[in-house]
Amino acid sequence: MSSKSRAKSSAAADAKAGGDDRSDRPYDLIVWGSTSFTGTLCVQYIARKQFEAKTSNADNEWSRLKWAIGGRSASKLNAMKTGVEKELREELKDQTVTVTAEVVLADSGDSKSLEAMVTQTRVIISSVGPFRQYGSALVAACVKHRTDYVDTTGEHLWVKQQIDAHHQTCVENGTVIVPMCGYDSIPSDIGTFLLSRHLKQTYGDSAVLDSVRHVAKAGGGAGASGGTLHTMLDIMEQVSNDRSGFGKDLANPYVLIPKPDQPTKSPKAGSENEYPLPLKVVDGAGPGTSVWTAPFVMSVANSAVVRRSAYLLNNRENKQKESYGPDFAYFGERMNVKTLIASVIFLVVLGFVALLAQLSFIRNFARKVRITSLPPPLTSLRPPSSA
Protein backbone atom coordinates (compact mmCIF):
# COMPACT_ATOMS: atom_id res chain seq x y z
CA MET A 1 0.00 0.00 0.00
CA SER A 2 2.71 2.45 0.92
CA SER A 3 5.47 0.99 -1.24
CA LYS A 4 5.61 4.11 -3.40
CA SER A 5 7.21 6.09 -0.61
CA ARG A 6 8.19 3.38 1.84
CA ALA A 7 11.85 4.22 2.41
CA LYS A 8 11.30 7.96 2.38
CA SER A 9 8.28 7.92 4.69
CA SER A 10 9.83 5.45 7.14
CA ALA A 11 12.92 7.60 7.41
CA ALA A 12 10.82 10.72 7.90
CA ALA A 13 8.68 9.11 10.57
CA ASP A 14 11.70 7.74 12.42
CA ALA A 15 13.34 11.13 12.32
CA LYS A 16 10.27 12.72 13.85
CA ALA A 17 10.20 10.12 16.58
CA GLY A 18 13.93 10.24 17.19
CA GLY A 19 14.32 6.66 16.00
CA ASP A 20 12.09 3.60 15.69
CA ASP A 21 9.74 4.00 18.66
CA ARG A 22 8.60 0.38 18.24
CA SER A 23 11.93 -1.16 19.22
CA ASP A 24 10.84 -1.68 22.82
CA ARG A 25 7.74 -3.67 21.92
CA PRO A 26 7.80 -7.20 23.38
CA TYR A 27 7.29 -8.98 20.03
CA ASP A 28 8.75 -8.71 16.57
CA LEU A 29 5.83 -10.59 15.05
CA ILE A 30 2.32 -11.77 15.90
CA VAL A 31 0.55 -14.32 13.70
CA TRP A 32 -3.11 -13.27 13.94
CA GLY A 33 -5.63 -16.03 13.28
CA SER A 34 -3.09 -18.74 14.04
CA THR A 35 -5.66 -21.53 14.27
CA SER A 36 -6.87 -20.94 10.70
CA PHE A 37 -5.61 -23.04 7.81
CA THR A 38 -3.07 -20.47 6.63
CA GLY A 39 -2.25 -19.26 10.13
CA THR A 40 -1.28 -22.77 11.20
CA LEU A 41 0.97 -23.09 8.15
CA CYS A 42 2.71 -19.87 9.19
CA VAL A 43 3.24 -21.18 12.72
CA GLN A 44 4.61 -24.47 11.36
CA TYR A 45 7.07 -22.66 9.11
CA ILE A 46 8.34 -20.25 11.77
CA ALA A 47 8.71 -23.03 14.34
CA ARG A 48 10.71 -25.10 11.87
CA LYS A 49 13.05 -22.20 11.02
CA GLN A 50 13.62 -21.46 14.70
CA PHE A 51 14.43 -25.11 15.40
CA GLU A 52 16.89 -25.18 12.48
CA ALA A 53 18.58 -22.03 13.82
CA LYS A 54 18.77 -23.54 17.31
CA THR A 55 20.25 -26.86 16.21
CA SER A 56 22.88 -25.14 14.07
CA ASN A 57 23.71 -22.59 16.80
CA ALA A 58 22.99 -19.84 14.28
CA ASP A 59 22.75 -16.23 15.36
CA ASN A 60 20.26 -14.87 12.83
CA GLU A 61 16.81 -13.34 12.52
CA TRP A 62 15.16 -16.68 13.29
CA SER A 63 17.11 -17.36 16.48
CA ARG A 64 16.44 -13.82 17.68
CA LEU A 65 12.79 -13.68 16.70
CA LYS A 66 10.36 -12.82 19.49
CA TRP A 67 6.87 -13.79 18.39
CA ALA A 68 3.37 -14.65 19.49
CA ILE A 69 0.24 -16.28 18.13
CA GLY A 70 -3.02 -14.39 18.31
CA GLY A 71 -6.71 -15.24 18.37
CA ARG A 72 -9.85 -15.23 20.50
CA SER A 73 -9.46 -18.54 22.31
CA ALA A 74 -6.46 -19.37 24.49
CA SER A 75 -7.48 -23.05 24.62
CA LYS A 76 -7.61 -23.34 20.80
CA LEU A 77 -4.31 -21.50 20.39
CA ASN A 78 -2.56 -23.72 22.93
CA ALA A 79 -4.07 -26.83 21.34
CA MET A 80 -2.75 -25.72 17.98
CA LYS A 81 0.73 -25.16 19.48
CA THR A 82 0.68 -28.64 20.96
CA GLY A 83 -0.41 -30.16 17.66
CA VAL A 84 2.32 -28.39 15.70
CA GLU A 85 4.95 -29.46 18.23
CA LYS A 86 3.80 -33.08 18.01
CA GLU A 87 3.92 -33.15 14.22
CA LEU A 88 7.31 -31.46 14.08
CA ARG A 89 8.78 -33.81 16.66
CA GLU A 90 7.56 -36.82 14.70
CA GLU A 91 8.76 -35.48 11.37
CA LEU A 92 12.13 -34.21 12.59
CA LYS A 93 12.58 -37.12 15.01
CA ASP A 94 13.55 -34.79 17.83
CA GLN A 95 11.53 -34.50 21.02
CA THR A 96 13.06 -31.14 21.93
CA VAL A 97 11.16 -29.23 19.22
CA THR A 98 9.02 -26.50 20.79
CA VAL A 99 6.88 -23.65 19.50
CA THR A 100 8.34 -20.70 21.37
CA ALA A 101 5.48 -18.32 20.53
CA GLU A 102 3.51 -16.80 23.40
CA VAL A 103 -0.28 -16.40 23.28
CA VAL A 104 -1.99 -13.03 22.76
CA LEU A 105 -5.78 -12.70 22.88
CA ALA A 106 -7.93 -10.23 20.94
CA ASP A 107 -11.23 -10.12 19.08
CA SER A 108 -11.84 -8.90 15.52
CA GLY A 109 -15.05 -7.25 16.72
CA ASP A 110 -13.36 -5.35 19.56
CA SER A 111 -11.23 -2.47 18.30
CA LYS A 112 -9.74 -1.79 21.74
CA SER A 113 -8.48 -5.36 22.05
CA LEU A 114 -6.99 -5.11 18.56
CA GLU A 115 -5.20 -1.88 19.46
CA ALA A 116 -3.86 -3.48 22.63
CA MET A 117 -2.51 -6.35 20.53
CA VAL A 118 -0.87 -4.32 17.75
CA THR A 119 0.96 -2.08 20.23
CA GLN A 120 2.80 -5.16 21.47
CA THR A 121 4.47 -5.98 18.14
CA ARG A 122 6.29 -4.46 15.20
CA VAL A 123 4.61 -6.67 12.56
CA ILE A 124 1.26 -8.45 12.23
CA ILE A 125 0.58 -11.34 9.87
CA SER A 126 -3.18 -11.77 9.41
CA SER A 127 -4.96 -14.76 7.92
CA VAL A 128 -8.44 -14.01 9.28
CA GLY A 129 -10.99 -13.82 6.48
CA PRO A 130 -13.28 -12.89 4.91
CA PHE A 131 -11.26 -9.72 5.36
CA ARG A 132 -14.17 -7.47 4.42
CA GLN A 133 -15.91 -8.73 7.54
CA TYR A 134 -13.00 -9.19 9.93
CA GLY A 135 -10.00 -7.23 8.64
CA SER A 136 -10.73 -3.50 8.46
CA ALA A 137 -10.51 -2.72 12.17
CA LEU A 138 -7.15 -4.49 12.43
CA VAL A 139 -5.68 -2.51 9.52
CA ALA A 140 -6.94 0.73 11.06
CA ALA A 141 -5.34 -0.19 14.40
CA CYS A 142 -2.03 -1.00 12.70
CA VAL A 143 -1.99 2.32 10.82
CA LYS A 144 -2.87 4.23 13.99
CA HIS A 145 -0.05 2.66 16.00
CA ARG A 146 2.56 2.28 13.23
CA THR A 147 2.53 -1.51 13.23
CA ASP A 148 3.52 -3.01 9.89
CA TYR A 149 0.97 -5.44 8.48
CA VAL A 150 0.91 -8.38 6.04
CA ASP A 151 -2.10 -10.51 5.08
CA THR A 152 -3.26 -13.29 2.78
CA THR A 153 -6.47 -11.78 1.44
CA GLY A 154 -7.52 -12.17 -2.17
CA GLU A 155 -10.30 -9.58 -1.82
CA HIS A 156 -8.90 -6.82 -4.01
CA LEU A 157 -11.94 -4.55 -3.63
CA TRP A 158 -11.50 -4.67 0.13
CA VAL A 159 -7.86 -3.78 -0.48
CA LYS A 160 -9.05 -0.78 -2.51
CA GLN A 161 -11.09 0.37 0.49
CA GLN A 162 -7.99 0.16 2.69
CA ILE A 163 -5.91 2.08 0.15
CA ASP A 164 -8.52 4.83 -0.02
CA ALA A 165 -8.77 5.00 3.76
CA HIS A 166 -5.13 4.71 4.81
CA HIS A 167 -2.62 5.20 1.99
CA GLN A 168 -1.88 8.85 2.70
CA THR A 169 -1.49 8.24 6.43
CA CYS A 170 0.91 5.37 5.70
CA VAL A 171 2.99 7.64 3.48
CA GLU A 172 3.16 10.21 6.28
CA ASN A 173 3.87 7.96 9.26
CA GLY A 174 5.85 5.18 7.59
CA THR A 175 3.51 2.27 8.30
CA VAL A 176 3.87 -0.51 5.74
CA ILE A 177 0.63 -2.31 4.83
CA VAL A 178 1.17 -5.23 2.42
CA PRO A 179 -2.02 -7.14 1.56
CA MET A 180 -2.46 -10.11 -0.80
CA CYS A 181 0.73 -11.96 0.16
CA GLY A 182 -0.48 -15.50 -0.38
CA TYR A 183 -0.80 -17.36 -3.65
CA ASP A 184 -2.81 -14.27 -4.51
CA SER A 185 -0.83 -12.35 -5.52
CA ILE A 186 2.85 -13.17 -4.86
CA PRO A 187 3.57 -15.30 -7.98
CA SER A 188 1.89 -12.74 -10.24
CA ASP A 189 3.24 -9.58 -8.68
CA ILE A 190 6.75 -10.64 -7.64
CA GLY A 191 7.09 -12.80 -10.74
CA THR A 192 6.50 -9.80 -12.98
CA PHE A 193 8.85 -7.65 -10.90
CA LEU A 194 11.65 -10.22 -11.05
CA LEU A 195 11.17 -10.64 -14.79
CA SER A 196 11.54 -6.89 -15.25
CA ARG A 197 14.63 -6.83 -13.01
CA HIS A 198 16.20 -9.67 -15.02
CA LEU A 199 15.65 -7.78 -18.27
CA LYS A 200 17.25 -4.63 -16.87
CA GLN A 201 20.21 -6.50 -15.39
CA THR A 202 20.76 -8.28 -18.70
CA TYR A 203 20.12 -5.48 -21.20
CA GLY A 204 20.43 -2.29 -19.17
CA ASP A 205 18.08 0.07 -17.33
CA SER A 206 16.40 1.18 -20.55
CA ALA A 207 14.98 -2.32 -21.14
CA VAL A 208 11.22 -2.48 -20.48
CA LEU A 209 8.59 -5.19 -20.41
CA ASP A 210 6.26 -5.27 -23.40
CA SER A 211 3.64 -7.66 -22.05
CA VAL A 212 3.23 -10.51 -19.58
CA ARG A 213 0.80 -13.41 -19.37
CA HIS A 214 0.80 -15.66 -16.32
CA VAL A 215 -0.09 -19.34 -16.74
CA ALA A 216 -0.77 -21.29 -13.56
CA LYS A 217 -0.25 -25.05 -13.50
CA ALA A 218 -2.66 -26.79 -11.16
CA GLY A 219 -0.93 -29.37 -9.00
CA GLY A 220 -2.21 -32.46 -7.25
CA GLY A 221 -4.14 -31.75 -4.07
CA ALA A 222 -4.76 -28.11 -4.98
CA GLY A 223 -7.89 -26.66 -3.41
CA ALA A 224 -9.40 -23.90 -1.34
CA SER A 225 -9.41 -23.54 2.44
CA GLY A 226 -12.58 -23.03 4.43
CA GLY A 227 -11.84 -19.33 4.80
CA THR A 228 -11.36 -18.96 1.06
CA LEU A 229 -14.69 -20.67 0.35
CA HIS A 230 -16.47 -18.37 2.81
CA THR A 231 -14.84 -15.39 1.12
CA MET A 232 -16.06 -16.55 -2.30
CA LEU A 233 -19.60 -16.82 -0.93
CA ASP A 234 -19.30 -13.33 0.50
CA ILE A 235 -18.16 -11.92 -2.85
CA MET A 236 -20.99 -13.66 -4.72
CA GLU A 237 -23.48 -12.20 -2.24
CA GLN A 238 -22.12 -8.71 -2.90
CA VAL A 239 -22.40 -9.27 -6.66
CA SER A 240 -25.99 -10.53 -6.42
CA ASN A 241 -26.98 -7.58 -4.18
CA ASP A 242 -25.00 -5.05 -6.21
CA ARG A 243 -26.38 -1.55 -5.79
CA SER A 244 -23.21 0.52 -5.99
CA GLY A 245 -21.23 -0.69 -8.98
CA PHE A 246 -19.52 -3.53 -7.09
CA GLY A 247 -19.69 -5.85 -10.07
CA LYS A 248 -18.22 -3.22 -12.39
CA ASP A 249 -15.35 -2.54 -9.99
CA LEU A 250 -14.79 -6.27 -9.49
CA ALA A 251 -14.06 -6.67 -13.21
CA ASN A 252 -12.00 -3.48 -13.56
CA PRO A 253 -8.33 -4.48 -13.96
CA TYR A 254 -7.22 -0.94 -13.02
CA VAL A 255 -9.36 -0.57 -9.90
CA LEU A 256 -6.35 -0.33 -7.53
CA ILE A 257 -4.97 2.66 -9.43
CA PRO A 258 -6.27 6.13 -8.44
CA LYS A 259 -9.22 6.98 -10.69
CA PRO A 260 -7.68 10.07 -12.32
CA ASP A 261 -4.74 7.93 -13.47
CA GLN A 262 -6.71 4.92 -14.71
CA PRO A 263 -6.25 4.47 -18.46
CA THR A 264 -9.37 4.81 -20.57
CA LYS A 265 -8.23 1.83 -22.62
CA SER A 266 -5.58 -0.84 -22.39
CA PRO A 267 -2.16 -0.09 -23.94
CA LYS A 268 -2.54 -3.20 -26.10
CA ALA A 269 -5.56 -4.93 -27.53
CA GLY A 270 -6.46 -8.01 -25.50
CA SER A 271 -4.52 -7.06 -22.39
CA GLU A 272 -7.61 -6.45 -20.30
CA ASN A 273 -8.72 -9.42 -18.22
CA GLU A 274 -8.96 -12.10 -20.84
CA TYR A 275 -12.26 -13.30 -22.24
CA PRO A 276 -13.47 -16.51 -20.56
CA LEU A 277 -12.82 -18.83 -23.49
CA PRO A 278 -10.41 -21.72 -24.10
CA LEU A 279 -7.12 -20.34 -25.35
CA LYS A 280 -3.94 -21.95 -26.59
CA VAL A 281 -0.84 -20.10 -25.41
CA VAL A 282 2.89 -20.47 -25.90
CA ASP A 283 4.48 -22.84 -23.39
CA GLY A 284 7.81 -21.98 -21.80
CA ALA A 285 8.96 -25.60 -22.19
CA GLY A 286 10.58 -24.83 -25.53
CA PRO A 287 10.29 -23.08 -28.90
CA GLY A 288 7.13 -23.83 -30.82
CA THR A 289 5.29 -25.51 -27.94
CA SER A 290 1.88 -24.44 -26.67
CA VAL A 291 -0.72 -25.56 -24.13
CA TRP A 292 -4.47 -25.28 -23.73
CA THR A 293 -5.63 -23.01 -20.94
CA ALA A 294 -8.83 -22.01 -19.17
CA PRO A 295 -9.58 -18.81 -17.23
CA PHE A 296 -7.97 -18.58 -13.81
CA VAL A 297 -10.57 -17.57 -11.21
CA MET A 298 -8.23 -15.14 -9.44
CA SER A 299 -7.02 -13.43 -12.59
CA VAL A 300 -9.08 -10.30 -11.94
CA ALA A 301 -7.60 -9.77 -8.48
CA ASN A 302 -4.02 -10.65 -9.39
CA SER A 303 -4.10 -8.52 -12.54
CA ALA A 304 -5.24 -5.51 -10.53
CA VAL A 305 -2.32 -5.97 -8.12
CA VAL A 306 0.25 -6.26 -10.94
CA ARG A 307 -1.12 -3.13 -12.57
CA ARG A 308 -0.97 -1.19 -9.29
CA SER A 309 2.66 -2.18 -8.83
CA ALA A 310 3.39 -1.10 -12.39
CA TYR A 311 1.72 2.25 -11.69
CA LEU A 312 3.64 2.81 -8.45
CA LEU A 313 7.00 1.82 -9.92
CA ASN A 314 6.41 4.10 -12.89
CA ASN A 315 5.93 7.02 -10.49
CA ARG A 316 9.03 6.53 -8.35
CA GLU A 317 11.93 8.97 -8.53
CA ASN A 318 14.28 6.31 -9.92
CA LYS A 319 11.70 4.84 -12.26
CA GLN A 320 14.31 4.29 -14.99
CA LYS A 321 15.68 1.40 -12.91
CA GLU A 322 12.34 -0.04 -11.78
CA SER A 323 9.58 0.92 -14.22
CA TYR A 324 8.03 -1.78 -16.38
CA GLY A 325 7.73 0.80 -19.13
CA PRO A 326 4.99 3.19 -20.30
CA ASP A 327 3.43 0.62 -22.67
CA PHE A 328 3.51 -2.36 -20.32
CA ALA A 329 0.48 -4.63 -20.68
CA TYR A 330 -0.57 -7.50 -18.44
CA PHE A 331 -2.50 -10.11 -20.41
CA GLY A 332 -4.23 -11.63 -17.43
CA GLU A 333 -3.84 -15.13 -16.09
CA ARG A 334 -4.76 -18.55 -17.35
CA MET A 335 -4.82 -22.06 -15.90
CA ASN A 336 -3.00 -24.84 -17.71
CA VAL A 337 -5.26 -27.74 -18.73
CA LYS A 338 -4.43 -30.79 -20.83
CA THR A 339 -6.92 -30.53 -23.67
CA LEU A 340 -9.50 -28.29 -25.33
CA ILE A 341 -12.25 -30.55 -23.97
CA ALA A 342 -10.92 -30.12 -20.42
CA SER A 343 -10.98 -26.36 -20.85
CA VAL A 344 -14.59 -26.40 -22.08
CA ILE A 345 -15.69 -28.65 -19.19
CA PHE A 346 -13.98 -26.34 -16.71
CA LEU A 347 -15.80 -23.34 -18.18
CA VAL A 348 -19.19 -25.06 -18.02
CA VAL A 349 -18.69 -26.15 -14.40
CA LEU A 350 -17.38 -22.72 -13.39
CA GLY A 351 -20.36 -20.99 -15.01
CA PHE A 352 -22.82 -23.39 -13.38
CA VAL A 353 -21.32 -22.84 -9.92
CA ALA A 354 -21.35 -19.06 -10.44
CA LEU A 355 -25.06 -19.17 -11.37
CA LEU A 356 -25.92 -21.30 -8.34
CA ALA A 357 -24.01 -18.93 -6.07
CA GLN A 358 -26.29 -16.10 -7.21
CA LEU A 359 -29.16 -17.80 -5.34
CA SER A 360 -29.40 -16.76 -1.70
CA PHE A 361 -30.74 -20.11 -0.46
CA ILE A 362 -27.74 -21.89 -2.02
CA ARG A 363 -25.32 -19.51 -0.30
CA ASN A 364 -27.14 -19.88 3.01
CA PHE A 365 -27.03 -23.67 2.74
CA ALA A 366 -23.31 -23.58 1.97
CA ARG A 367 -22.70 -21.42 5.03
CA LYS A 368 -24.60 -23.83 7.28
CA VAL A 369 -22.35 -26.66 6.16
CA ARG A 370 -19.30 -26.57 8.39
CA ILE A 371 -16.46 -25.77 5.96
CA THR A 372 -13.14 -26.78 7.46
CA SER A 373 -9.67 -27.40 6.15
CA LEU A 374 -6.66 -28.99 7.76
CA PRO A 375 -3.09 -28.10 6.83
CA PRO A 376 -1.38 -30.78 4.74
CA PRO A 377 1.26 -33.01 6.34
CA LEU A 378 4.41 -31.19 7.35
CA THR A 379 6.51 -33.37 5.06
CA SER A 380 4.80 -31.75 2.08
CA LEU A 381 5.62 -28.29 3.39
CA ARG A 382 9.32 -28.75 3.98
CA PRO A 383 11.06 -25.64 2.63
CA PRO A 384 14.31 -25.88 0.64
CA SER A 385 17.39 -25.78 2.84
CA SER A 386 18.29 -22.43 1.30
CA ALA A 387 14.90 -20.86 2.09
Q: What is the mean pLDDT of each run of 10 residues along the chain (387 residues)?
A: 42 47 92 93 95 94 96 96 95 93 96 97 93 94 98 92 95 96 91 93 89 73 57 64 64 85 63 60 64 83 92 80 85 84 84 74 66 48 43
For the chain, the straight-line distance linking the first and the last C-alpha, in angstroms and rounded, comes to 26
In a domain, 373, yes or no: no
Q: Looking at the domain assignment, is residue 374 inside a domain?
A: no
What's the CA gap between 180 and 309, in Å, rounded? Answer: 12
Strands 102-105 and 177-178: unpaired
Domain boundary among 182, 214, 234: 182
Q: Are residues 105 and 203 in the same domain?
A: no
For 53, 100, 106, 204, 230, the CA distances from 73, given in Å and listed in that order, are 30, 18, 9, 54, 21
Tell whether 248 and 307 lie within a shared domain.
yes
Q: Sign of dihedral through CA atoms 140, 142, 148, 154?
A: negative
CA-CA distance, 293 to 173, in Å (whole number)? Answer: 44
Last residue of a domain, one of 182, 207, 228: 182
CATH number at residue 154: 3.40.50.720
Looking at the structure, tell me whether residues 54 and 170 fall in a common domain.
yes
Do 164 and 198 belong to one domain? Answer: no
117 and 250 part of one domain: no
C-alpha span between 176 and 381 (Å, rounded): 28
Which H/E stretch holds residue 140? helix 136-144
Q: What is the pTM of this model?
A: 0.81
Q: In the prediction, which pLDDT does 321 show?
A: 77
Return d(Cα 174, Cα 381) in angstroms, integer. 34
Q: Is 338 inside a domain boundary?
A: yes
Classify residue 256: in a domain, yes or no.
yes
H-helix or E-strand spanning residue 117 = helix 111-118
Q: How many domains does the chain have?
A: 2
Residue 157 lies in a domain: yes
What is the per-residue pLDDT for 358?
72
- Same domain as 84, residue 125: yes
Q: Are residues 128 and 200 in the same domain?
A: no
**Residue 387 located in a structural domain:** no
Domain assignment of residue 286, given as a range = 186-368
How far apart CA 140 and CA 162 sit, in angstroms, is 8
Which of 182, 213, 230 is the last residue in one of the domains? 182
Instruction: Identify whether 247 is part of a domain.
Output: yes
pLDDT of residue 107: 96
230 and 165 in a single domain? The answer is: no
Question: What is the model's pLDDT at position 18?
Answer: 43
pLDDT at 272 (0 to 100): 53
Taking every pair of Cα atoms in the chain, the longest distance, rounded to a whole number of angstroms, is 64
- Do 358 and 331 sit in the same domain of this protein? yes
Q: Are residues 159 and 257 in the same domain?
A: no
pLDDT at 256: 93
Do 204 and 343 have their domain in common? yes
Residue 379 lies in a domain: no
Same domain, 203 and 325: yes
